[in-house]
Chains A and B, each alone.
Chain A
Amino acid sequence: MVRILNMLAIAALIGSAIYAYTIKYETIFHAETIVKLQHEIKLEQDQIGTLRAEWAHLTRPERIQALADRFLDLQPVALNQIVRAEVLPGKAPRVDAIGRKLGALGLAEPTNTPRDAALDAAVSSTPPR
């Protein structure tokens, strides 16, 4: 009985030791991962900073103006080109311009082409059976 208890105690001891070490190494592993990730984050942040500076440098008004003068056929906005939204004319009523044109052509009206006339005549002259 005592021997079994001893064996159990030893087993528990070894087990807990293994468990403790596992946890310890996992902790170390996670800590290292954190440090690594922090380093990467720092690197990324630094890169973002550099890119932001580069973006600000490339979009500085001086450069944009020079490029616009060279490549764009635009001129500075004049004050009479700026109006308030309420000054803009309202939306015109919807007009079916194509339909109106077609209507003016008179396509819908009856025609007197020979074929139609013949058809009419045939219809009217059909003798009752």
Chain B
Amino acid sequence: MNEDREKMSDGFNLGLDNKGNGATVRPAGSRVRVIGSLFAGIFSARLEKSAPRIRLAAWVFLGVYGIIAGKLLDFGLRPDPPASVKRAAADAIAAARPDLLDRNGELLVTDIKVMSVFAEPRRIIDKDEAVELLTAVLPDVDAHELRERLGSRKGFVWVKRAVTPKQQQEVYHLGLPGVGFLPANKRVYPNGPVAAHVLGFANLDGIGISGLEKYIDGQGLADLHGAGFSLAPVTTSLDLQATYAVRDELARGIAKFKAKAGAAAILEVNTGEVVAMASLPDYDPNSPADALDPNHINRLSVGVYEMGSTFKAISIAMALDLGKIKLHSRIDARDSLRYGHFTIHDFHATHRVLSVPEVFTYSSNIGAARMALMVGVEGHKAFLGKMGQLGRLRTELAESAEPLVPKNWGELNTMTIAFGQGLSVAPLQAMMAVAALANGGLLVTPTFLKRSEEDAKKDAPRVVKAETSEAMRYLMRLNAEIGTAKIADIKGYFVGGKTGTADKIVHGHYSKDKVLTTFMAVLPADKPKYLFLTLLDEPQGLPETAGYRTAAWNAGQVTGKIIERTGPLLGIPPRIDLPTQPFPLLAKLGYAEANVPAHGGRAH
């Protein structure tokens, strides 16, 4: 065995081993021999040595493969690094927002994809050159500011948002490293200023700032989108065509009567939907900086005004509903009403005893004040509170104003508030109350989203009796037949209406020549569907209005135009024959004359 091993060792070591010829080398010295024996030890092919060697090799390989496997596992388990700049910029991109549609599915607001140029300052080699080239292509980027931004240590900066395809091509051809494009959502309002106050606007980052845009942000839609749901469009209550028509007629009215500002709206009385709304002057949400101008506020919900005689409708309804008066009751309006050193006059003074319908059609301040006095201060307060006139009206629009309620509400306040002075409310709020008087007595909160009648009436509180509501409809119809609202009595529509002219308060005193005129009309008066409101701020008397600046001449006329134009758009069929029994409840109660059309009267 030993011999064989010797031979094998010789054969394997090919002479490197000195075992075989050790005798010849030995004289060269013992050091050589030691080295030689070491080599012999390492490269020996003897079997007793090969087993641990193989084991060693196996361990080494096992170790290497173990490391590789471990590393693979490590790579597999490690969360993805923020590899692409897209991910880093994901939160910088405007989130997708749902479209807003009008009630017929017309597009009001939508997102479009636009390319935005971004830069990664760390990857830009020559920043000055980059600034020079970029500003040459994008002339409206400020060079100084861009240089500053590129000099920052941020990983991502916007160069310019929303570039045109041509600019994108040009930037692309610059071939700058570290400059790229990202598709971003841009909010567009195709109709410009139409319905701007309702829609509001969103900023460049896709965050709603005002109006419905802000409201939908509060509904958690952005989170839904983040979770991978596609955003369903939001259907608003607006009718685009009607909204445009209202705005157009209002603009004409403002120009004609040289008013400072104006507002108009159409409210669906049964569902509370705001079908059309305009407040002028307004702004284009595509350039939202204009929205900050305080003159561009939404006068229907942010402005508070003394509504003037339109408030008499509420006062009369209150007295009727609480049973203090009946339609046949007589109210003494022979003399001006004195209270302390204040005197209440009638604008259309009659100096006689008036019936309740006459108080309404002559718009008698004295009559309304006397009715409120019958109810008393506390009752008046409670009724107005019930009608939602003393608290802030909350709709989907975040912009709203608290009404200006007198701090010390005495008898005099009750008397003046009865005919619309001394209490400032948002016009939309007053519309809500008048809508409740018209629709049968349910106080339906206005909404800017599409809503069904069942939903609206589900939790609408009853504020007046159905008979009171019908009496108010009769009074408004009568007013359009023979009273102050004659000008808006559009033939073919059974219109009812009420005017309101309030002197404006200038430096704490009621101005003699500055007025705010309002007009409310219900249509059709026997079975109301829509309530129209027009409000003009400081309209001027014209020769053709005989110099009058009262509501009937201006706001009434504008409302008439609006009714004429939007009636067909809203699908109200004109009636050749007026209804024969428009007020059946009143007839049952013994007021048969309510169903007989009245003629004559005066125009104011």
Asked if A79 and B567 sit within 8 Å, CB to CB, the answer is yes
Asked if A77 and B568 sit within 8 Å, CB to CB, the answer is yes
Q: How many residues on A have C-beta within 8 angstroms of the other chain's C-beta atoms?
A: 21
Stretch in contact with the other chain, from A11-19, A47-55, A99-107, A114-122: A47-55
Please give me the 4 A-B residue pairs with the lowest Cβ-Cβ distance, nearest first: A56-B190, A61-B244, A57-B190, A56-B107
Given contacts A49-B113, A56-B110, A82-B574, contact A62 B191 (CB under 8 A): yes
Q: A40 in the interface, Cβ–Cβ < 8 Å? A: no
Q: B106 in the interface, Cβ–Cβ < 8 Å? A: yes
Asked if A53 and B568 sit within 8 Å, CB to CB, the answer is no
Asked if B113 and A60 sit within 8 Å, CB to CB, the answer is no
Closest to A58 in B: B190
Asked if A79 and B491 sit within 8 Å, CB to CB, the answer is yes
Asked if B110 and A79 sit within 8 Å, CB to CB, the answer is no
Q: A84 in the interface, Cβ–Cβ < 8 Å? A: yes
Tell me, in angstroms, the Cα distance from A60 to B565 when the chains sit together.
17
Task: Give 13 CB contacts A-B under 8 Å.
Answer: A46-B183, A49-B113, A52-B107, A53-B107, A53-B110, A54-B190, A56-B107, A57-B191, A61-B241, A62-B194, A62-B244, A79-B567, A79-B568
Q: How far is the CB of A113 from chain B (nearest CB, A)?
A: 59
Pick from B112, B190, B564: contact of A79, CB below 8 A. Answer: B564
Tell me, in angstroms, the Cα distance from A60 to B188 when the chains sit together.
13
A contact patch SS:
helix
Interface residues of A (CB under 8 A from B): 46, 49-50, 52-57, 60-62, 65, 76-77, 79-80, 82-84, 87
Asked if A60 and B190 sit within 8 Å, CB to CB, the answer is yes
List chain A residues, Cβ under 8 A from B191. 56-57, 60-62
Q: Which of B190, B564, B568 has the most CB of A within 10 A?
A: B190
Given contacts A49-B112, A50-B112, contact A79 B107 (CB under 8 A): no
Tell me, in angstroms, the Cα distance from A56 to B105 when the chains sit together.
11
Asked if A79 and B490 sit within 8 Å, CB to CB, the answer is yes
B100-115 CB mask vs A (1 if < 8 Å, else 0) is 0000001110111100
List chain B residues, Cβ under 8 A from A77. 568
Tell me, in angstroms, the Cα distance from A53 to B110 when the chains sit together.
7
Given contacts A76-B565, A79-B492, A79-B568, contact A46 B112 (CB under 8 A): yes
Given contacts A49-B113, A50-B112, A62-B194, contact A79 B574 (CB under 8 A): yes
Tell me, in angstroms, the Cα distance from A62 to B183 when the chains sit together.
31
Q: How many residues on B have C-beta within 8 angstroms of the other chain's C-beta atoms?
A: 29
Q: How far is the CB of B495 from chain A (nearest CB, A)?
A: 11
B241-283 CB mask vs A (1 if < 8 Å, else 0) is 1001100100000000000000000000000000000000000
Closest to B240 in A: A61
Query: Other CB < 8 Å A-B pairs besides A49-B113, A79-B491, 5 of them?
Result: A46-B183, A54-B190, A55-B107, A56-B107, A62-B191
Tell me, in angstroms, the Cα distance from A77 to B574 when the chains sit together.
12
Q: B383 in the interface, Cβ–Cβ < 8 Å? A: no
Asked if B568 and A82 sit within 8 Å, CB to CB, the answer is yes
Tell me, in angstroms, the Cα distance from A56 to B492 when the chains sit together.
33
Tell me, in angstroms, the Cα distance from A77 to B241 when the chains sit together.
14
List chain B residues, Cβ under 8 A from A57. 188, 190-191
Q: Considering the complex, which residues of chain B in the window 542-571 have a beta carbon less than 8 Å from any beta carbon of chain A?
A: 564-565, 567-568
Q: Considering the complex, which residues of chain B in the window 183-238 have a beta carbon less than 8 Å from any beta carbon of chain A?
A: 183, 188, 190-192, 194
Q: How far is the CB of A72 from chain B (nearest CB, A)?
A: 17
Tell me, in angstroms, the Cα distance from A65 to B569 when the chains sit together.
14
List chain B residues, Cβ under 8 A from A55. 107
Asked if B110 and A52 sit within 8 Å, CB to CB, the answer is yes
Q: B573 in the interface, Cβ–Cβ < 8 Å? A: yes
Asked if B112 and A56 sit within 8 Å, CB to CB, the answer is no
List chain B residues, Cβ under 8 A from A50. 112-113
